[in-house]
Structure 1
Amino acid sequence: MFAETVRYALYVLLLWIVASLVKSVFIPSPLANIRGPPSTGSWLWGHFKQLFDRQSWQFQHELYNKYGQIVTADGLFGRKLLFVFDPLALHHVLLKDQHIYEETEQLIQMDLQLFGPGLLSVLGDTHRKQRKMLNPVFSIKHMRQMLPIFYQVTDRLRQALNDRVVNGPQAVDMMSWMTRIALELIGEGGLGYSFDPLTTDSANPWGEAMKNLMPSVMPLMPFRNILPFLCKYTSPRLRRWAVERIPWAPLQKVRGIIDTMDEMSHTIYNTKMSALRKGEEATVQQIGAGNDVMSKLLQANMMAAEEDKLPDDQLIAQITTIVFAAMDTTSGVLAHILHMLSERQEVQERLRQEIIEARRENGGEDLSYERLSELSLLDAVCRETLRMYPPLVFLTRTAVEAAVLPLSTPIEGRDGTLMHEVLVPKGTSVVISILASNRNRALWGPDVDEWKPERWAKLPDAVVDAHIPGVYSHLLTFLGGSRACIGFKFSEMEMKVVLMMLLSNFKLSIPDNLGAPICWNFAGVQWPSVGRTSSTSELPLKLELLERRL
């Protein structure tokens, strides 16, 4: 039976590869008239290697600035990719016609294998049901309740960093610390669970697993296209048996990370459910006193009508999903902010003064949610970094039926004709270009590639009038539509609280003896290294303890 299943799966896979080759060679693509980079001549790889190279920024820059706001590139196995960052076209993809542009089957299956059936991994009614259950626990009202938790956690970070520089300035790997603080904030605020006491140099193994997930998955990305076939024609037990026996280091590393995440999710779920069954007294004794996202979700699920309840496997999957979505992304943005402020001391000092003055006016006490939101420069620094350096630079959707994408600005086809709309055939991979939309020169102006927080004091009329279909401040960083990031307010508050603590107590600058510049690498999410060839994720910054100003 096992041998027959394997042979059948290989047979179906071979047929699919042959069909893809025949289609790409003998059937002209309806997208052929849309401009894009020259072909690499490789049917197998297309532009995949340029697009997913760790230093793909130059390729992406040319892709988005040379050919117009709708661009084609070659994907794996001869498939065409349609990159979209025209505002009107994005409105149709993310809002008006979002039912046509679904998550790709390859991504859904990959997320299912990584995280289980959580919010990132399900479609249709299941996704709507999960989102409905989660929306209230990510409301602003709930964010206010979690703010004291954030201040308590960041104070532990302050003490840990203070101990390292109390005898003088030191180079500190702030990427490591931003990862740790992001994990602990989502742990205590999101799950009511402490991952990391923030008192030692050794990071939590679960945090390390999350941090290494996306870089470890990258070598497996070329095989993502065959994942739907494997999942359709083989059982989970067979796939697990095969994975354990394939002697390929990248695959085994990802397997270990998945096992670690799964163990974490079950441990947290069992702990939370045990407390809930014991009643309110046991719940309030937990970290976060029952105000964390997961406790609220489990309580809501217990009280929901039977038809609205989420099954155990979906609840457990939310744990890994929430940690992944909140940790790697927020920590990367925070690290980027610290890098920018270290290179721009005048902005750092102005921001420090804004924070210190606000705290002084508040009697030296922690700021409320409303007062924190009023700090204009802090808000501008966060928005500008989220614009310039979104954690995810693009996401792919599949057109489940043929559609027409109208354009706000016509593009010139390869044959010289002006195109005011694009016919999207069924099955087309439509790439939502987050980075390109956030850096659209036609909207933001010629200085679009400069980090300038002051631009948020008065946005260009073109940006406001474009009506970018994102949930956050004319940006696509947190997407839009029914699959927009549900926790963007959580992430924003997290960043502001961490920055307020750091800048109130420390001065950050670039160390003198790095030996190479700090570079940011592409790997699904962005990560920093010293030099372009180092495989170590790190952001060494000189940390100097400030005199108390309050």
Structure 2
Amino acid sequence: MPRETPLTSATLAAGVALALTPIAWRLLHRKRTPLNSLPNVPGPNDGSFIAGHMSLLFSNDSWDYHRDLCENYGQTCRVKGLFGEDFLYTFDPKAMHHIFVKASAMSNLISTASPYRPMAFQDQYIYEEASFFTANGHVFFGPGLLSVTGDHHKKQRKMLNPVFSVAHLRHMVPTFFKIGEQLRSTFLAKVSNGDQEIEIVSWMTRIALEIFGQSGFGTSFAPVTEDSPEHPYASSVKNLTALMTVTALPRMFILPPVQKYNIGGRWLQRKIIDILPWKLGHQLRDIVDMMHETSSNVFESKRKAMSEEGDSSGEDQKKDILGILMRENSKSSEADKLPDEEVIAQMSTLMFAAMDTTSSALARILHLLALHQNVQDKLRAELRDAHENFGAQPDHDDLVNLPYLDAVCRETLRLYPPVATITRETQADVFLPLSKPMKGIDETEMSEVFLPKNSNVFISIRASNTDPNSVNDAHVPGVYSHLMTFIGGGRSCIGFKFSQLEMKVILYSLIKQFRFSPPKEKIYWQMTFIASPTVDPELKDLRPRMPLTVSLVDDA
């Protein structure tokens, strides 16, 4: 067993110095780069010396600040990071196309006549996930899609792409509806004797977890019924996004260098977290432990079942995402094969994303339907007609082609994407072109922005989705409905079709029979990493809550 190392002031000082070194190096590099035009981009002057604008951009009530940025500075502006580092903030469609999609980077890299000669990158390798994002993703979920970059990410994505094909989704529809029926029956029992106020987020979380558990892993976490307790994973992980927001600054400051240089090793890192009197850090630690333990247990159970049953396993067991992934992985060459650690990391990543983003989107849809009864009535009429034509469980094509149901989902995801902003970090010195020239601070016209290597770029998904200039001629590079909700390119959301299908099944199961109305309490939406509702006007209650009044429709 490793000898315990005491936590001393020298150790902490060394950690802070290592955290500051990359920032200092980047700032020095930029001062020596004469082409650097990022400081000339207009932006707000407020913000603290240490945190810059980060505490304003990353808080539970940041909606107004993000909106003011867009209204005051247009599609592109500059914000301050830690210790005055310049970050770019944009939702310019041409810039986003170069960040997410463009196949060859040579046309938007610095001219070869420049002393800053470009490397032969592809664009997706120039604009990678920010180092603080991948560092945190590695700590939370392991070496999965959210925490690896470059060819490593491409390899993982290649292995996972087939399991989210429409062909596989078609086979999952009956499972989706079977679990949707559990929730419908639960709600029916609750409101059979009159209207009831039901806390919606917990039920949307439970059904999203159970759907992914059965369709993704071939296992049940907990039936979506009143007499079945909520699985510890759901009750624990639902707090993760709020905790990620309120701990954003220390994580942004400390984790990247700790992860990059593996400071102290995993054992010492864990020991320091255990020792520090930091309640939020301990909560994050426990949630990470829960996710890893859950994924590891499911993985080992699946491997054991596949080993014992071989090709004799039932057809249903061959159709879940994990089963398909493990079979394909076992057939792959050694160069393409994913180690167990990465398969488990994919499980944690996909399970969290499938549960939290989808439950957030569903809660938002139901909240909006409660506020707009005319839309709810029109949707209910379409779903009842569909029920007459297709029965209680329409097939994949009939369900996804219901026009008003599709419009309700699309418009909600346009106006209220669960993830409102994302980040990218440049891996080389690069010119980022803009769709419309803007005036710099010195009044010169700027049609592009030079970004030195390791520059951070914030992309506002919500602003892009609601920008009138993105409606007509702009080519927004999203994979879904001319929107950036699921982003685009090689790091687009791999499960967006799964999520869409899941939302439609649950709405089909509920809206035909139940009416959702606003509660007595006002609902506030927090700008956490994944948007979440609360009834706490002070936004201090970390666990999401959204009660709605549920009643039987008169002629149901």
What's the TM-score once normalised by structure 1's chain length?
0.91
**How big is the shift at 1:281?**
6.8
**How big is the shift at 1:210?**
1.8
| CA displacement, residues 370-398 of structure 1 (integer Å, 9 cap, x when unaligned) | 11121111101101111111111111111
Sort the Cα spacing of 1:343 and 1:15 in 2 relative to 1 into closer, same or farther, 3 A.
closer
Sort the Cα spacing of 1:100 and 1:375 in 2 relative to 1 into closer, same or farther, 3 A.
same
Aligned residue among 537, 549, 552 for 1:542:
549
**Counterpart-to-counterpart distance in 2, 1:241 and 1:282:** 46
Sort the Cα spacing of 1:39 and 1:27 in 2 relative to 1 into closer, same or farther, 3 A.
farther
| CA displacement, residues 335-355 of structure 1 (integer Å, 9 cap, x when unaligned) | 000011001111101111111
**Counterpart-to-counterpart distance in 1, 2:489 and 2:524:** 33
| CA displacement, residues 136-195 of structure 1 (integer Å, 9 cap, x when unaligned) | 110000000111100101000111111111111101011111111111111111111111
SS, match of residue 538 in structure 2: coil
| CA displacement, residues 230-270 of structure 1 (integer Å, 9 cap, x when unaligned) | 23132111111211211210011111111111110111001
Corresponding residue for residue 75 of structure 1: 81
1:466-505 equivalent positions in 2, closer than 5 A: 466-505=474-513
One-letter amino acid of the structure 2 residue matched with residue 488 of structure 1: F
Sort the Cα spacing of 1:533 and 1:4 in 2 relative to 1 into closer, same or farther, 3 A.
closer
**Counterpart-to-counterpart distance in 2, 1:359 and 1:19:** 59
SS, match of residue 107 in structure 1: helix
Corresponding residue for residue 423 of structure 1: 450
Corresponding residue for residue 448 of structure 1: none
Structure 2 residue 38 is the aligned partner of structure 1 residue 31? yes
Corresponding residue for residue 456 of structure 1: none
The count of aligned residue pairs is 523
1:450-469 equivalent positions in 2, closer than 5 A: 462=472, 465-469=473-477
Aligned residue among 479, 482, 506 for 2:514:
506
| CA displacement, residues 398-457 of structure 1 (integer Å, 9 cap, x when unaligned) | 11111111111111212222211111111110112211111113234xxxxxxxxxxxxx
Corresponding residue for residue 14 of structure 1: 17
Any conservation in 1 of the 2:130–2:423 contact (CA below 8 Å)?
Answer: yes
Corresponding residue for residue 224 of structure 2: 198
| CA displacement, residues 215-240 of structure 1 (integer Å, 9 cap, x when unaligned) | 12223211223212223132111111
Corresponding residue for residue 215 of structure 2: 189
Sort the Cα spacing of 1:77 and 1:370 in 2 relative to 1 into closer, same or farther, 3 A.
same
Moved more, 224-233 or 170-179: 224-233
**Counterpart-to-counterpart distance in 2, 1:16 and 1:193:** 42
Corresponding residue for residue 109 of structure 1: 135
**How big is the shift at 1:366?**
1.2
Aligned residue among 427, 433, 437 for 1:410:
437
SS, match of residue 470 in structure 1: coil
**Counterpart-to-counterpart distance in 1, 2:296 and 2:8:** 31
Moved more, 405-414 or 164-173: 405-414
| CA displacement, residues 51-99 of structure 1 (integer Å, 9 cap, x when unaligned) | 1121111110011121121111111222111012111110101112222
SS, match of residue 432 in structure 1: strand
Any conservation in 1 of the 2:59–2:246 contact (CA below 8 Å)?
Answer: no
One-letter amino acid of the structure 1 residue matched with residue 491 of structure 2: R
| CA displacement, residues 110-143 of structure 1 (integer Å, 9 cap, x when unaligned) | 1111001111111122211111111111000000
Sort the Cα spacing of 1:112 and 1:542 in 2 relative to 1 into closer, same or farther, 3 A.
same
One-letter amino acid of the structure 1 residue matched with residue 364 of structure 2: H
**How big is the shift at 1:305?**
2.2
Corresponding residue for residue 310 of structure 1: 338
**Counterpart-to-counterpart distance in 2, 1:7 and 1:53:** 31
Sort the Cα spacing of 1:300 and 1:16 in 2 relative to 1 into closer, same or farther, 3 A.
closer
Any conservation in 1 of the 2:317–2:323 contact (CA below 8 Å)?
Answer: no
**Counterpart-to-counterpart distance in 1, 2:545 and 2:232:** 17
Any conservation in 2 of the 1:276–1:282 contact (CA below 8 Å)?
Answer: no
Corresponding residue for residue 238 of structure 2: 211
1:328-407 equivalent positions in 2, closer than 5 A: 328-362=356-390, 364-407=391-434
SS, match of residue 425 in structure 2: strand
**Counterpart-to-counterpart distance in 2, 1:16 and 1:199:** 48
**Counterpart-to-counterpart distance in 2, 1:149 and 1:168:** 30
Moved more, 380-389 or 73-82: 73-82
Aligned residue among 239, 243, 253 for 2:283:
253
**How big is the shift at 1:524?**
0.6
Corresponding residue for residue 60 of structure 1: 66
1:129-148 equivalent positions in 2, closer than 5 A: 129-148=155-174
Any conservation in 1 of the 2:59–2:245 contact (CA below 8 Å)?
Answer: no
Any conservation in 2 of the 1:130–1:310 contact (CA below 8 Å)?
Answer: yes
CA RMSD of aligned residues (A): 2.2
One-letter amino acid of the structure 2 residue matched with residue 474 of structure 1: H
One-letter amino acid of the structure 1 residue matched with residue 380 of structure 2: R
One-letter amino acid of the structure 1 residue matched with residue 60 of structure 2: R
> What are structure 1's unaligned runs of at least 5 residues?
445-461
**How big is the shift at 1:332?**
0.5
One-letter amino acid of the structure 2 residue matched with residue 153 of structure 1: I
**How big is the shift at 1:16?**
5.3
One-letter amino acid of the structure 1 residue matched with residue 383 of structure 2: I
SS, match of residue 119 in structure 1: coil
**Counterpart-to-counterpart distance in 2, 1:291 and 1:548:** 39
**Counterpart-to-counterpart distance in 1, 2:331 and 2:21:** 52
One-letter amino acid of the structure 2 residue matched with residue 518 of structure 1: I
**How big is the shift at 1:3?**
6.3
1:131-280 equivalent positions in 2, closer than 5 A: 131-200=157-226, 202-223=229-250, 224-231=252-259, 232=261, 233-280=263-310
Any conservation in 2 of the 1:35–1:72 contact (CA below 8 Å)?
Answer: yes
SS, match of residue 466 in structure 1: coil
SS, match of residue 427 in structure 1: coil
Any conservation in 1 of the 2:19–2:257 contact (CA below 8 Å)?
Answer: no
Sort the Cα spacing of 1:281 and 1:23 in 2 relative to 1 into closer, same or farther, 3 A.
closer
One-letter amino acid of the structure 2 residue matched with residue 209 of structure 1: S
Moved more, 273-282 or 186-195: 273-282
Any conservation in 2 of the 1:21–1:78 contact (CA below 8 Å)?
Answer: no
Moved more, 4-13 or 94-103: 4-13
Matched-pair identity in %: 41
Sort the Cα spacing of 1:316 and 1:16 in 2 relative to 1 into closer, same or farther, 3 A.
closer
**How big is the shift at 1:509?**
0.7
